[in-house]
Amino acid sequence: MLLTPEVIAILILDTIFLLFACFAFYISIPIALKWDINSTSAFQYGLEKKAILVATIIKYIFVLKLPLFLFFIFTSDKISGVITGAMCAAGVVNSVDFGLSLFIFKILNLYIFGFWLFLHTEDMKDEKLKFTKLKFTIFIVAFLLLITEIFYEISFFTSLDVDKIVSCCGTLFSAASTSTISFIFDISNPVIVTAFYITFALYLITFFLKKESLFLASNILFFIVSVLSLILFFGTYIYELPTHHCPFCFLQKDYYYVGYALYITLFIGTFIGISGSILSILKPEFSQNYYRTSLIFNILYTLIVSVYPVVFYIRNGVWL
């Protein structure tokens, strides 16, 4: 157990989220089950008001979760100074077995809660409140994911051990590692680079086809391939070290915090692409602007990430 003020802040917020989420969940069940917009019963009017409370609570949680995610990485980075062997957040997160799961849940929840708010905004535009039932059904699932994340996070901080020696990111993200993700290092550089640019090309094609389901799929694919290629290939050019594959170190000052720029553009680009596509499948008259926003951010991501190897090549005349 490591009670630094940063950890306490996260734990306090987790507690608040937990309480509010449980409360919202309790209210959501009748909404998900008994919502009937045509009913004129006092019960239905009550549900309509309660739905607004739940939406407010979710907004509150999401608005705090976004910066808190960065704060979490930052805190883990800071703790890495205390934990033997850890050089950055990666080592700290991986010092417990479920570190990777915690991380995946965190990202997944950001997408889901963000999408929920997106859906909510659309829902509130029409007095028929067509998506309310769907919204609350999604929330019930999102609630379970959130609870899992919070429990992971609490046990993460309570089981952090200053005396335990952990692996640093250098060994975690290497072919020699035995961690759950090491298998990806079997992919060779040319393969992953080609895969990345092909995925990007596919993404561009679906952009011009303007078919939601294809755009949705290409965004998801683009996200996955981007993260993989960042770890396997592009990261090494940011560090200018062929063996350093850590997806966290470039969040630090030494690399001008470029990691934040990368993750934020990738998140916005794919998030808007994914949520926008799903929304326009649900609601055909949904504005098509999301195509462009998604495109801008994904191109921005691709540009930033491509600059590193190109500049390296120009300066040194060789590839890493």
Partner 1 sequence: MESKINHFMIGFAISSILRRGVKSFFTLFIFTSLIFLLSSILFISNSIKAELGFTLKSLPEITIQKLQAGRHTNIGINRIDKLLEFHGVVSAIPRTWGYYYFEKAGVNFSVVGIDSFDKQYKNSFESFVEDVDFDELSKNSSMIVGVGVKKALNDNYYKDYFNFVKPDGELQKVTIASTFKSSTSLESNDIILMPRDMVLDIFGMNENEATDIVLSVANPEEIPTIIEKIRNLYPDTRVITQNDLRVSYQNIFDYKSGMFLALFIISAFTFFMIVYDKASGLSSEEKKEIGILKAIGWKIDDILKEKFYEAFIISFLAFLSAIILALFFVYTLEAPLIKDIFIGYSRLKPTFDLPFVFDFQTVFLLFFLTIPLYLAAIIIPSWRVASMDADEVMR
Partner 2 sequence: MIECKNLTKIFNKNKNDEHTALKNINLEFKAGEIIVLKGASGSGKSTLLALIAALSKPNDGEVIVNNKRISKMPDNFTSLFRRENIGFIFQKYNLIPTLSVKDNMILPLIPSNPDEKVLETAIDKLLEKFSMESKKNILVKQLSGGEQQRVAISRALINNPKIIIADEPTANLDGKLSLDFIKIIEQLKNASTTIVIATHDPLFFDLDFVDKIVELKNGEVIDVINS
Size of interface with partner 1, in residues (CB under 8 A)? 25
> Is residue 53 near partner 1 by the rule CB under 8 A?
yes
**Nearest in space to 272 (alpha carbons), one of 244, 301, 249:** 301
Q: What is the DSSP string of 168-206?
A: -HHHHTSTT--STTGGGGGS-HHHHHHHHHHHHHHHHHH
Nearer to partner 1, 7 or 246 (CB): 7
Interacting span for partner 2 (CB under 8 A) from 23-31, 32-40, 201-209, 247-255: 32-40
> Is residue 12 near partner 1 by the rule CB under 8 A?
yes
**Nearest in space to 263 (alpha carbons), one of 231, 241, 221:** 231
Q: Please tell me what DSSP assigns to residue 9.
A: H
Nearer to partner 2, 51 or 83 (CB): 51
The SS3 assignment for 265 reads: helix
Nearer to partner 1, 61 or 228 (CB): 61
The 10 Å Cβ neighbour count of residue 76 is 28
Q: How far is the CB of 45 from partner 2 (least distance, A)?
A: 6
Site for partner 1 in 115-154 (CB under 8 A): 121, 124
Binding test (CB under 8 A) with partner 2, winner from 2, 18, 64, 124: 124
Site for partner 2 in 45-64 (CB under 8 A): 45, 48-49, 52
Burial 32-62 (b: 16+ CB within 10 A, else e): beebeeeeeeeeeeebeebbeebbebbeebb
> Is residue 287 near partner 1 by the rule CB under 8 A?
no
CA distance 306 to 72: 28
Binding test (CB under 8 A) with partner 1, winner from 62, 69, 74, 151: 74
Binding test (CB under 8 A) with partner 1, winner from 71, 239, 255, 286: 71
The 10 Å Cβ neighbour count of residue 248 is 23
> Is residue 129 near partner 2 by the rule CB under 8 A?
yes
219, 203 in Cβ contact below 8 A? yes
- Binding residues for partner 2, rule: CB under 8 A, are 37-38, 40, 42, 45, 48-49, 52, 124, 127, 129
- Binding residues for partner 1, rule: CB under 8 A, are 3-6, 8-10, 12-13, 16, 20, 49, 52-53, 56-57, 60, 64, 67-68, 71, 74, 78, 121, 124
